[in-house]
Chains A and B, each alone.
Chain A
Amino acid sequence: MSLTTHFPLCFLFSLFQMQFMLLFSRQGKLRLQKWYVPLSDKEKKKITRELVQTVLARKPKMCSFLEWRDLKIVYKRYASLYFCCAIEDQDNELITLEIIHRYVELLDKYFGSVCELDIIFNFEKAYFILDEFLLGGEAQETSKKNVLKAIEQADLLQEVRHRMKSK
């Protein structure tokens, strides 16, 4: 394998599978955001605003995919929360839906039938679970059991005080 050629400049700016993941409520309130691409706060805000509007404007019976700028948006609504991911053109929409669903299942298992308030008040936990599941936009652990085990062990390391608070 020769890798003598330097990567073209565009390669540096090329993007990983999942660009970002947003969770927002039916009212358009952002509940969680995870960016796997380096963007400035201003850009992030702009994208979030645009996307939230676009997704909320869609009718309930519509399919979960839309083309937005040069990205594909995959979103799914669970109760009052919208889970919304941006992927690249060649990426697989269905697997992204599966990732979203897997994340919801993890939240559900961890919090015990999760609701929006769980995520609002324990938003750092939601992040920890997400980080345990996805790394840099890629699924790092496909087994639900392993993810939860890892989270529980990490929680054990936390002090009693903290655990009491989060419950």
Chain B
Amino acid sequence: MALKIVKGSIDRMFDKNLQDLVRGIRNHKEDEAKYISTCIDEIKQELKQDNIAVKANAVCKLTYLQMLGYDVSWAAFNIVEVMSSSKFTYKRIGYLAASQCFHESTDVIMLTTNQIRKDLSSPNQYDTGVALTGLSCFVTPDLARDLANDIMTLVSHGDCVKRKRCSVLIMYKVFLKYPESLRPAFPRLKEKLEDPDPGVQSAAVNVICELARRNPKNYLSLAPLFFKLMTSSTNNWVLIKIIKLFGALTPLEPRLGKKLIEPLTNLIHSTSAMSLLYECVNTVIAGQYCSSVGSVVLCVQKLRILIEDSDQNLKYLGLLAMSKILKTHPKSVQSHKDLILQCLDDKDESIRLRALDLLYGMVSKKNLMEIVKKLMLHVDKAEGTTYRDELLTKIIDICSQSNYQYITNFEWSVSQPVTPHPPGISVSWWTIRVFAVAQMATLLDNAHLLTGSMQRNGICEVLYAAAWICGEFSEHLENPLQTLEAMLRPKVATLPGHIQAVYVQNAAKLFATVLKSQEGNTDSTTAQETSQLMIDRLPLFVQSANLEVQERASCILQLVKYIQKLQQKDVEVAEEVIALFAGELNPVAPKAQKKVPVPEGYLDLTPPSESESEDEQPKAIFAKEEPKHSRPRHTEVDEKELARRREARKQEQANNPFYIKASPSSQKVYQDAPGVEHIPVVQIDLSVPLKVPGLPMSDQYVKLEEERRQKERAEKKKKEKKKRKEKRSGRGKKHDSGPESEEDITPAHMVDIVTEEMPEVRCVSLQIQFSTSRIFNELSPSSFWVFNEKKSSKHKKKKQKKEKEEKEKKKKKKKHHHHHHHSDGGGEESVQNGTVEEEEPLPVSVYDIQGNLQDGSQVVVSVIFENKCDSFLKSMEFNVLDSLNSKLQRPEGSGPHDGLTVPFQLPPGVSNEARFVFTVQSIVMPQKLKGTLTFIVKNEDSSTHEKLDFKLHFTCTSYLITTPCYSDAFAKLLESGDLKGSSVRLEGVNMPFHHLLARICFHHHFSVVERIDSCASMYSRSIQGHHVCLLVKTSGQTVSIDAKCDEPTLLGNVLDEIKQTFSQC
């Protein structure tokens, strides 16, 4: 020993050891690279010596240098040498160096196989230990293949607990590299799950959990074993793993979810370990489709505690988990809005961003204003440009998203689809207009800095909005000239075309504002300079490749040139120029506006909420072609005057069949009024909404809807099925049940906003007929047909055409029955129909289909599944046989014939709605899609697998979108000569002309352009932008329809469908 010490100190005299190296590097801060290169030279010398101690020392130093980023791959062979030393001290260093420096492409690794095998089987457990550790870092497929058996031996026969544990863990690495080894090894691994040593057991749990997470299917059979472990284990680390494993298994076996909910809830209640709590909550959230609402509420409560905690980490994770819940249970999260808003004040930016994300999803009609206001405050305070940008983007997102909600909820939309300015901003107009204008101006000013990154992530849409806002509300700009200058920078030409177009248009508005502000000024240089600026810069846009930009720019350029001429003659032009862009901005939702306290000083901006009439241009943007007279803004609105006007308007609306009443209450008043009871029509029309859900275009429909609902309600009450019905009818129905939820305000809004309708979300008239048994037609067809005849003429026709095409394969003893409901496009105004109850008890389930149509080529079909039998329905799978033209959209990775799982189960008497998206290529032909629904019927004693066939009927009408059109635009369209004509003649139509029009509007999604006596022009647009124009004339009982459309096939089919509608009455 003494000799060794002496020898060691001699070594030390000649060699640097690791500590010396580290010290040296620290002392040579200025010329570190140079110092290290001399060190490396020394190391190379040392490696050439035979003394293993010197070599190990050199390798140790190399490992350090490797960490500093120096290449040491040249010493790989020396590392192997050190690894194979018989002394543990050196072996350990060798393995450490190898684990740090080796990777799969290191070729000397194959030289190590035998050495590692020797070490694994070494009687010294520490040798085995370092070998396993090293192996875990540099195992290659070859090593895994060659050593799998040795490791297996360790697993099963290892006498040392520690070695066993390590080898179990290392097996996972081996499986990853050499999957073939898994099959023979698995039984032994499974054994280890019940190993008496908790360490080995937890290692096995670890490995199997990791394996199962990658490929859960193969591990389902282990669920009972893990379940046992979970309820018995007290080791949090193991519990977390097991819970994670169950998280992966539950989607494959929904029954597990039910079983798990109890132990998970217990853990959530009892555990003090946050990590375990968090894992449980996450698993419950992820598997919540099978968990109860109660457990979600519990999770939200626990998360609230996390978020309230002063620990930033818990706060962050709480918010993260919240956002996961938000996706499925928005209601339960929304009640914690206060808390989330508080988080916006947090000093940690990442927490604020998480909170922002959450807010985005939490916005509702009620809280939008509050949230946006609060956010605006934060924009003010925000330091750091990234955060501020993020805030602004989020505000705009939040607004536009909520407007989207308006659209779906209230069937509300903007009349001109060509101007989809982020409408959200207009929502918050009244409170933040000035602020927004200032912000947007800044944004525009800085746009050149941001465009690069903006274009990439799509934030440039913000500029679109910003430009529009600055133009529209240019009177609020502090320095319009500067903004104008910013908008005309050459850089703008790099923006997408649609944004440039808005820039050009709004530059003109700004120009007008500048002129106006310079009007009184005796010195006209500024005005003239501005004109010159426009003339200088606009040619850039005139050359644009984008047609819209080009057109607008050249138009405005000519205008400005003309103005310049006038200016030179000292003519006052500002008034006229301003007049080009005059006109009020339509309020987004008069009700919403009323709810907002009008800040002082802004009263003048607020147009009287109902002052908009149908024929007004909603936006000044496109009013240019036909300049209107500047309408003086209402400076002071006299209460009485307002009341008087309102009265007059109401009167006018009451007489206008195309105006939907302002609110439910006024509807009722109207209903009671004597002169307007069109009872016979009511009866005929009653059935109609069944078939073609669409926009109720006239008050008659709203009224009959109201009546029908009342009738229905009475009927329902009698049958005590109210509960079920409310569920089924969804949102629209709630409006009957008194104002308690947010949606309650919807109907009122919906009718309010009729002035400008551009239903973005349209309904497809989808006809689905289900009957639940094949004996249906034998047992109760007559009653069914009678019902159809009575209630639903159109419905019946379709049905007849289909002629029992749809037969069900199911066997049930009892009678069967049809049931149909339709909700119209937006989904909130549920045009329910055919709530027909038959004497017979209902067997299994009744289905309804609603369709929603969105832009382009996508069709959303909503299906209401209702379980009318006494058994439990589960594992429902919806599948449609795709045609070439229409395809059901399936999640990525699934085959073209895979069904879609309906994401819920149905206890008896419950209904639920699922949505399916279809892509449609051509819309000119109607078509039917065949489909099947498979499901499991579960009774107390048995369960059977059942199948229902059905058909989806996509009519051409369903592709039309009610689009208002103005008579001059209509005339232009007809003159253009692009449209092909066709006509149809209907005989024996016995109904007042305005009912006839209303019927066409309602069923076929047209809008009346103009009506003169017994002649009317109508217009509609398809989702793919085809124009359809109708000229309807009536004389006696004959109705002739002349139609024009740019797509003759589509037109033919639409006319056929119209004909059909009327042949049924």
Show the binding face of A for B, using Cβ within 8 Å.
Answer: 1-3, 5-8, 11-12, 14, 16-17, 30-33, 35-36, 38-41, 45, 59, 61-66, 90, 92-95, 97-98, 120-121, 123-124, 127-128, 131-132, 135-136, 138-142, 150, 153-154, 157-162, 165
Task: Indicate whether B890 reaches chain A with its CB closer than 8 angstroms.
Answer: no
B69 proximity list for chain A (CB < 8 A): 30, 45
The distance from the CB of B304 to the nearest CB of chain A, in whole angstroms, is 17
A154 touches B92 (CB 8 A): yes
| Chain B interface extent, by class | 35 or more
- The one of A32, A36, A142, A150 in contact with B235, judged by C-beta atoms closer than 8 angstroms, is A142
A1 proximity list for chain B (CB < 8 A): 186-187, 190, 218-219, 221-222
With A40-B103, A94-B278 as contacts: A162 and B89 at CB distance below 8 Å: yes
A36 touches B137 (CB 8 A): yes
- The one of B92, B136, B316, B347 in contact with A136, judged by C-beta atoms closer than 8 angstroms, is B136
With A30-B68, A63-B351, A136-B172 as contacts: A93 and B213 at CB distance below 8 Å: no
Show the binding face of B for A, using Cβ within 8 Å.
Answer: 1, 4-5, 8, 17-19, 22, 60, 63-64, 67-69, 71, 73, 87-89, 92-93, 96, 99-100, 103-105, 126, 129-130, 132-133, 136-138, 162, 165-166, 169-170, 172-173, 176-177, 179, 182-183, 186-187, 190, 199, 202-203, 206, 210, 213-215, 218-219, 221-222, 235-237, 240, 244, 247, 274-275, 278-279, 312-313, 315-317, 347-351
B138 proximity list for chain A (CB < 8 A): 38
- Give bound CA distance, A59 to B352, whole Å: 14
A61 proximity list for chain B (CB < 8 A): 312, 347-348
With A3-B186, A32-B67, A128-B92 as contacts: A153 and B313 at CB distance below 8 Å: no
With A16-B210, A157-B126 as contacts: A94 and B317 at CB distance below 8 Å: yes
B317 touches A12 (CB 8 A): no
B182 proximity list for chain A (CB < 8 A): 3, 7
- The one of B18, B96, B237, B348 in contact with A127, judged by C-beta atoms closer than 8 angstroms, is B96
A–B complex contacts, Cβ < 8 Å, 20 sampled: A1-B190, A3-B182, A3-B218, A5-B218, A8-B215, A14-B176, A36-B136, A36-B137, A40-B103, A62-B348, A62-B349, A64-B312, A66-B350, A94-B275, A94-B317, A95-B279, A121-B18, A127-B100, A135-B169, A165-B17
A95 touches B275 (CB 8 A): yes
- The one of B4, B89, B183 in contact with A158, judged by C-beta atoms closer than 8 angstroms, is B89
B126 touches A153 (CB 8 A): yes
- Give bound CA distance, A152 to B171, whole Å: 26
List 14 other contacts, CB 8 Å, given A121-B22, A131-B96.
Answer: A11-B215, A30-B69, A38-B103, A41-B103, A64-B313, A65-B313, A94-B275, A124-B18, A124-B96, A132-B133, A135-B170, A142-B199, A154-B92, A154-B129
B190 touches A39 (CB 8 A): no
With A124-B18, A158-B88 as contacts: A138 and B313 at CB distance below 8 Å: no
A12 touches B176 (CB 8 A): yes
The distance from the CB of B643 to the nearest CB of chain A, in whole angstroms, is 56
B103 touches A39 (CB 8 A): yes
- Give bound CA distance, A124 to B315, whole Å: 37
A165 touches B67 (CB 8 A): no
A157 touches B104 (CB 8 A): no
- Give bound CA distance, A138 to B162, whole Å: 14
- Give bound CA distance, A7 to B203, whole Å: 22
B199 proximity list for chain A (CB < 8 A): 141-142
Nearest B residue to A95 via CB reads B275
- The one of A35, A59, A120, A161 in contact with B137, judged by C-beta atoms closer than 8 angstroms, is A35
| Prevailing SS type, chain B contact patch | helix
B4 proximity list for chain A (CB < 8 A): 159-161
B215 proximity list for chain A (CB < 8 A): 7-8, 11
- Give bound CA distance, A40 to B203, whole Å: 29
B176 touches A123 (CB 8 A): no
The distance from the CB of B209 to the nearest CB of chain A, in whole angstroms, is 9
B213 proximity list for chain A (CB < 8 A): 90
The distance from the CB of A46 to the nearest CB of chain B, in whole angstroms, is 11
- Give bound CA distance, A157 to B235, whole Å: 32
- Give bound CA distance, A125 to B215, whole Å: 37
A138 proximity list for chain B (CB < 8 A): 169, 172, 203, 206, 210
- Give bound CA distance, A127 to B92, whole Å: 11
A63 touches B313 (CB 8 A): yes
A135 touches B214 (CB 8 A): no
B203 proximity list for chain A (CB < 8 A): 138, 140
The distance from the CB of A123 to the nearest CB of chain B, in whole angstroms, is 6
A92 touches B170 (CB 8 A): no
The 9 closest A-B pairs by CB, nearest first: A94-B275, A63-B312, A136-B136, A161-B8, A63-B316, A131-B133, A95-B275, A158-B89, A62-B348
A11 touches B274 (CB 8 A): no
With A12-B176, A140-B166 as contacts: A154 and B221 at CB distance below 8 Å: no
A90 proximity list for chain B (CB < 8 A): 213, 244, 247
B176 proximity list for chain A (CB < 8 A): 11-12, 14, 16
- Give bound CA distance, A19 to B319, whole Å: 25
A3 touches B96 (CB 8 A): no
B133 touches A98 (CB 8 A): no
B5 proximity list for chain A (CB < 8 A): 160-161
B179 touches A11 (CB 8 A): yes
- Give bound CA distance, A10 to B778, whole Å: 55
B179 touches A6 (CB 8 A): yes
- Give bound CA distance, A167 to B864, whole Å: 75
- Give bound CA distance, A8 to B218, whole Å: 13
- Give bound CA distance, A98 to B274, whole Å: 10
Nearest A residue to B243 via CB reads A92
A14 proximity list for chain B (CB < 8 A): 176, 214
- Give bound CA distance, A159 to B88, whole Å: 9
A65 touches B317 (CB 8 A): yes
The distance from the CB of B67 to the nearest CB of chain A, in whole angstroms, is 6
- The one of B19, B92, B105, B316 in contact with A165, judged by C-beta atoms closer than 8 angstroms, is B19
The distance from the CB of A56 to the nearest CB of chain B, in whole angstroms, is 15
Nearest B residue to A88 via CB reads B213
B275 proximity list for chain A (CB < 8 A): 92, 94-95, 97-98
- Give bound CA distance, A59 to B104, whole Å: 38
A40 proximity list for chain B (CB < 8 A): 103, 105
- Give bound CA distance, A7 to B278, whole Å: 31
A7 proximity list for chain B (CB < 8 A): 179, 182, 214-215
- Of the candidates B213, B349, B350, the one having the most CB atoms from chain A within 10 angstroms of its own CB is B350
A3 touches B183 (CB 8 A): yes
Nearest A residue to B17 via CB reads A165
The distance from the CB of A2 to the nearest CB of chain B, in whole angstroms, is 7
- The one of A17, A120, A157 in contact with B210, judged by C-beta atoms closer than 8 angstroms, is A17
B237 touches A65 (CB 8 A): no
B8 proximity list for chain A (CB < 8 A): 161
A136 touches B103 (CB 8 A): no
Nearest B residue to A72 via CB reads B320
The distance from the CB of B384 to the nearest CB of chain A, in whole angstroms, is 10
Nearest B residue to A96 via CB reads B275
The distance from the CB of A141 to the nearest CB of chain B, in whole angstroms, is 7
A136 touches B89 (CB 8 A): no
The distance from the CB of B232 to the nearest CB of chain A, in whole angstroms, is 17
Nearest A residue to B8 via CB reads A161
A142 proximity list for chain B (CB < 8 A): 199, 202, 235, 237
With A1-B221, A135-B132, A141-B199 as contacts: A128 and B88 at CB distance below 8 Å: no
Nearest A residue to B69 via CB reads A45
B278 touches A92 (CB 8 A): yes
- Give bound CA distance, A41 to B133, whole Å: 20
- Give bound CA distance, A157 to B90, whole Å: 11
- Give bound CA distance, A38 to B187, whole Å: 28
The distance from the CB of B299 to the nearest CB of chain A, in whole angstroms, is 16
Nearest A residue to B286 via CB reads A90
- Give bound CA distance, A43 to B972, whole Å: 63
- Give bound CA distance, A165 to B8, whole Å: 10
